[in-house]
Structure 1
Amino acid sequence: MKKRRGVYNKWAKTVVLNKKASIRSHVPHTLLFSEYSLRKMLHLYHMVYVKPNKGSHGVGVMRVESNNGTYSYQIGAKRKSNLSWAQLTASLKRKIDNTTYIVQRGIHLSRYKNRIYDLRVVLQLNESRAWQITGIVARVAKPGMAVTNGAQGADTHTFESVIAAQGGTELVERLRAEFHNVCIDCAHLLYAKYPYLNELGFDIALDHQMHPWILEVNTTPEATPFRKLANKSMYNRMMQLRRLNARRS
């Protein structure tokens, strides 16, 4: 199978998505990292995520918080607290070095069994070259972790089981319809800019009001979370379309 072409610049993808107002309300406020942008975002939101612009698997992602004049941050399971501004920025800059990072508004995630979770929604071009949702799965973080990536130990659950526990089948159907509208709109925007794309993986957070936030769009998403489910129908469909799109690309 041919190597899939992707877009790995998170900032560039964010700029594309923010062009449409109906999508903008689902994209957390994001800026390129600097000491000034970090201070501004912490003043606005008190909790932010600092991410490598071209990273993956949650590696290097830091959760940063301000609390009454002191600061803390968490990377993986390690947390540093009660830092001054000078201590915070010096520590972050050592980790960032000369790499480009972004600062993203932190979303306080909904919880499942007292663990944060997000959703991975996969879209692919189907036989008619139309964008189609081929899979939705929930990723539930390890206790104490600030990220939900499988590479960081998150567990995989069906979308229906996690969301039904929050609000029953009515919430499951409402969110499914909302993901269909928002994600397909996003796919059209990204495809217009990057016409070689044929597969997208949306990392979607739900806040406490169950409002969906697009944390990231992966242009070469892994099918691994879907392979872990007992029912392999979504995984099989993804691989079928992946093979088809590899042949015609």
Structure 2
Amino acid sequence: MGKPHIGILTYRNGHRFQEPGYFRRLISEGQKLGATVFLFSHEDAFEQKRMIRGFYPSAKGGWENKLFPWPDVVIDRCRKGSPGYRQFRKKKLFLYANNTYTNKWNATRLFMQDDAVQRWMPHTVAYSPEHLKEMLKKYRLLYIKPGNGTGGRSILKLTRTVEGYTVLGRDNRLVKKTARFQTLPPLIRWLNRWVKTERIREGNFMIQQGLDLSLVPGRATDTRLLIQKNELGEWDITGLGIRIGGKNSSTSNLHGGGKAVPFESFMVQRFGPEKTKSILLECRELARQVVQTIERHFGPMMEFGLDIGIDVNGRIWLIEVNPKPGREIFKRIGRMDLYRRSIQRPLLYALYLLQASKRPPLNRENAG
């Protein structure tokens, strides 16, 4: 029997990929595990021949391609939901390590309605001028977020002040934006333009209750938790870390100028050891409840990055869930062991799935 072939489905622009460093590590770790790993886009599958134009690192630093046999299992890492990709996914041509998910707005509605998760959810509604007025009456701080955004793009932080309203955020190119308004009508006109010009992939916007996450004064702070399936096909928390946003930034995203620090030492300094232990246990419980809820609705999954807000009182909130998460935070906090494990786990789970698919079904009449 030859080496197992693992295909990584992603977006390709010519010979360029969105996450080249991560993909090189993924392919290298796959080789160490005895697998052949290659990248491909939905345009690279030749269905009749059952062959794939696959890409792999060149010794010169770029990417080479050749024809590979049909992959035994595919990891979907495509972060750009083009119509061609969506149609391709519907065909179910492969054994996939992860099912398709949904956008952030639909996921938020699901979590708000789920008995096991709703206690961690901030109040969230679809964007409209009427909803904005209602939310501003209830909360001094709001976030205006795209329903299918990523990486902190197009997110606004809106604060009601004595002088009026202050808006702070980043557009879909991550350029900082600030604005101030004395009254509501010009604010609404400005926001109406924003949700039209800054929408991502024709998606809508939502208004979310703002949280006081300034564990470091004047800076947005949150926790990124990575939960992944392991080599036994079981959910396990790989690790977590704190992200501290840049000065005058509406989010804590690392590529928006934020920095990362280890979770435990930071939280102990802020809340003490006992409270930190309790917060950590609740973060773990939240992560497990979230992935169980998702799998009930969407089928088997592989990994998720949870953005968890811990407010100044130590209360825990679920901010958002990322189905194709980054793992740079482990590098930033100096945990290369966790960084490497976070890269290995999707491959180990893919190999587990492949073996499980070859096992004969259990004969329940003769079992036990």
TM-score (norm 2): 0.64
Provide, for residues 153-210 of structure 1, a one-character-per-residue CA deviation record: whole Å limited to 9, x for no partner: 1001111121111022223211111111111011100111122421111101111111
Q: What's the offset of the Cα at 1:17?
A: 1.5
Alignment partner of 2:101: what SS?
coil
Q: For residues 141 and 88 of structure 1, what CA distance do their matches in structure 2 show?
A: 25
Segments of structure 1 that go 5 or more residues without pairing to the other structure are none
* Shift in CA distance, 194/44, structure 1 to aligned 2, threshold 3 Å: same
- Mapping of residues 128-147 of structure 1, within 5 Å: 128-147=232-251
Alignment partner of 1:2: what SS?
strand
Q: What's the offset of the Cα at 1:93?
A: 1.5
Structure 2 counterpart of 1:30, from 110, 124, 132: 124
Q: For residues 201 and 151 of structure 1, what CA distance do their matches in structure 2 show?
A: 16
Contact 2:230 2:346 in 1 (8 A): no
Structure 2 equivalent of residue 242 of structure 1? 346
Contact 2:166 2:179 in 1 (8 A): yes
The answer to which of 111-120 and 184-193 deviates more is 111-120
2:103 counterpart of 1:97: no
**Which has the greater radius of gyration?**
2
2:219 counterpart of 1:115: yes
Structure 1 equivalent of residue 67 of structure 2? none
Structure 1 equivalent of residue 152 of structure 2? 58
Structure 1 equivalent of residue 177 of structure 2? 78
Provide, for residues 214-249 of structure 1, a one-character-per-residue CA deviation record: whole Å limited to 9, x for no partner: 110111110111122222122122111121234437
The answer to which of 17-26 and 58-67 deviates more is 17-26
Structure 2 counterpart of 1:152, from 228, 251, 256: 256
Structure 2 counterpart of 1:46, from 140, 162, 166: 140
Structure 1 equivalent of residue 24 of structure 2? none
TM-score (norm 1): 0.92
Give the letter for the 2:181 counterpart: N
Q: What's the offset of the Cα at 1:121?
A: 0.7
- Mapping of residues 139-218 of structure 1, within 5 Å: 139-218=243-322
Q: What's the offset of the Cα at 1:70?
A: 2.5
Count the aligned residue pairs.
249
Structure 2 counterpart of 1:19, from 109, 113, 124: 113
Q: What's the offset of the Cα at 1:95?
A: 1.6
Structure 1 equivalent of residue 187 of structure 2? 88
Give the letter for the 1:88 counterpart: L
Q: For residues 37 and 151 of structure 1, what CA distance do their matches in structure 2 show?
A: 31
Greater RCO, 1 or 2 (C-alpha within 8 Å, sep 6+) = 1
Alignment partner of 1:97: what SS?
helix
* Shift in CA distance, 233/125, structure 1 to aligned 2, threshold 3 Å: same
Provide, for residues 50-100 of structure 1, a one-character-per-residue CA deviation record: whole Å limited to 9, x for no partner: 001111110110011223583221114432123321211111121211731
Structure 1 equivalent of residue 337 of structure 2? 233
The answer to which of 70-79 and 23-32 deviates more is 70-79
Segments of 4+ moved more than 4 angstroms: none
Q: For residues 11 and 114 of structure 1, what CA distance do their matches in structure 2 show?
A: 28
Segments of structure 2 that go 5 or more residues without pairing to the other structure are 1-6, 10-75, 77-97, 171-175, 355-368
State the percentage of identical aligned residues: 24
